[in-house]
Amino acid sequence: MAEHAAPRDTPPGGRPTDRPDLAAMLVPLCRALVDAERPVLDAHGLAMWAYAVLLHLDETPIRTQAALAEAIRADKTRIIPILDDLEARGLIHRRPDPGDRRVRLVSLTPEGRRLRDTVQADIQRGEERLLAHLPAADRDGFVRGLVALHALPEIPPHQPSSGA
Amino acid sequence: MAEHAAPRDTPPGGRPTDRPDLAAMLVPLCRALVDAERPVLDAHGLAMWAYAVLLHLDETPIRTQAALAEAIRADKTRIIPILDDLEARGLIHRRPDPGDRRVRLVSLTPEGRRLRDTVQADIQRGEERLLAHLPAADRDGFVRGLVALHALPEIPPHQPSSGA
DNA sequence: GCTTACGATCTGCCCGAGCGTACGATCTGT
DNA sequence: ACAGATCGTACGCTCGGGCAGATCGTAAGC
């Protein structure tokens, strides 16, 4: 089941780390987690992007739709139908900024906030059940490390040092 | 920059966790990490899937190509050209199983193993530089938690409990 | 020997997502 | 008033990847 990378001889120019690549563990974990959470989103008729919008909207005041799109790393054109849908369902407000009528001020409606809280509660409950598999110390470290990494402004590209 | 979710009132039916969703942190982290590591793979002429194959090949003995594809969660048809390329470059062997000539036994060649070690050293060096941003305790907990989660056989789907 | 099952391979279809372009409405500076 | 920039929106292209079907070789059971 669990394949741990056996420690190998030291490759040229690198210290051995005695663990699989972070990405090789993170990517499957991400996929599995997203798959696991999809039923919850489906049950509430939310697409992943729509949920990302709801999540982001009340954490930081929104300036423009393009900024919102960039914040959740979505495409600025593809976010339009998502906002259309959320607006049609009464989950967000989208009104022109009186100060600059080019921009639309996007905000959560009370129903939007409620749905968001409900869905997030479901999701986080599932996540907590997942985290329960870990010993308490590792669980806290994992979450704290993840929060810290998530807070990093950006991740610089790795440099191939060995002769290309 | 770093937006921490402010603790909110408890949503109906769930305990508040005072942290963003795991997935909401993991997915951007994955994307950023993969983006950061792409230059390394490019420098060695390896696609992501090809690297996944090399990574998987010497950790567990391979039975069939379809099993290999499933193990790295790739499509069984899409993996063929990848194996073709790796084989043409002398990085893997693909010979018919004498016991059952339907199946092809896939294994790493010495050059394949060397390339894999080189690339992995580059990648893990970059990852270690990233982890250096964390306090030692959180770093260890993060890696240990990640390894443990990665070792889980599967992640059960979350159940939407609130009235769908 | 025949039928059925299975693995590898190929081909084609469809979808989601990234990206560029274009256009209308609006703001800003001159 | 006019030029240039900015925002929201629509359209279209392209690519990667998931998926289904078809073919061929091989294996196993009858």
Alpha-carbon span A112 to A87, nearest angstrom: 9
Report domain A47-146's class. Answer: mainly alpha
pLDDT tens, A107-161?
999 999 999 999 999 999 989 988 888 888 888 889 999 998 888 877 777 777 7
- Look at residue B151 in the predicted model and tell me its pLDDT: 82
| Chain B residues 44-73 within 7 Å (CB) of strand C | 64-67
- Look at residue A164 in the predicted model and tell me its pLDDT: 47
CB B92 within 8 A of CB B83: yes
- Indicate the pLDDT class of residue B150, thresholds 50, 70 and 90: confident
Say how far A77 CA is from D6 C1', in Å.
15
Model confidence at A14: pLDDT above 60: no
In chain B, the residue whose alpha carbon lies closest to the alpha carbon of A126 is B158
Model confidence at B163: pLDDT above 70: no
Query: Could you say which DSSP state residue B15 is in?
Result: -
Question: Within 10 A of A105 (CB to CB), how many other CB atoms are there?
Answer: 17
- The percentage of residues in chain A with a pLDDT greater than 90, rounded to a whole number, is 52
**What's the residue count for chain A?**
164
Residue where the block lists tokens 């010497």: B58
Alpha-carbon span B50 to B59, nearest angstrom: 15
Mean pLDDT of B27-55: 92
A39/B157 CB distance under 8 A: yes
- Indicate the pLDDT class of residue B153, thresholds 50, 70 and 90: confident
Considering chain B, what is the average pLDDT of its residues? 85
**Nearest 5°: CA angle at B114, between B111 and B116?**
110
Residue where the block lists tokens 């889980």: B152
CB A140 within 8 A of CB B145: no
Nearest-Cα distance to chain B for A145, in Å, is 5
Tell me which amino acid residue A39 is.
P
Residue A120's contacts (CB-CB under 8 Å, 6 or more residues apart) are A55, B11, B14, B21
Pair of tokens at residue A18: 């005695």
Query: Could you say which DSSP state residue A75 is in?
Result: -
Greater confidence (B160 vs B93) lies with B93
B146/A3 CB distance under 8 A: no
Mean pLDDT of B83-97: 94
Within 8 A of A25 by CB-CB distance, chain B residues are: 146-147, 149-150
Mean pLDDT of B94-117: 92
Give one word for B60, left, alpha or beta, with left for phi > 0 and alpha for psi -120 to 50.
beta
Q: Which of B118, B55, B111 has its CA nearest to residue B88?
A: B111
pLDDT tens, B66-89?
999 999 999 999 999 999 999 999
Mean pLDDT of B6-33: 72
Collapsing DSSP states into helix, strand and coil, what is residue A70? helix
B19/A121 CB distance under 8 A: no
Q: Which of A46, A37, A23 has its CA nearest to residue A128?
A: A37
Residue B70's contacts (CB-CB under 8 Å, 6 or more residues apart) are B76
- Indicate the pLDDT class of residue A5, thresholds 50, 70 and 90: very low
Model confidence at B90: pLDDT above 90: yes
- The percentage of residues in chain B with a pLDDT greater than 90, rounded to a whole number, is 56
Model confidence at B10: pLDDT above 90: no
Alpha-carbon span A128 to A30, nearest angstrom: 15
- The percentage of residues in chain B with a pLDDT greater than 70, rounded to a whole number, is 88
CB A24 within 8 A of CB A17: no
Is pTM beyond 0.75 here? yes
- Quote the distance between the C-alpha of residue A32 and its chain's center: 14
Query: Could you say which DSSP state residue B159 is in?
Result: P
- Look at residue A162 in the predicted model and tell me its pLDDT: 56
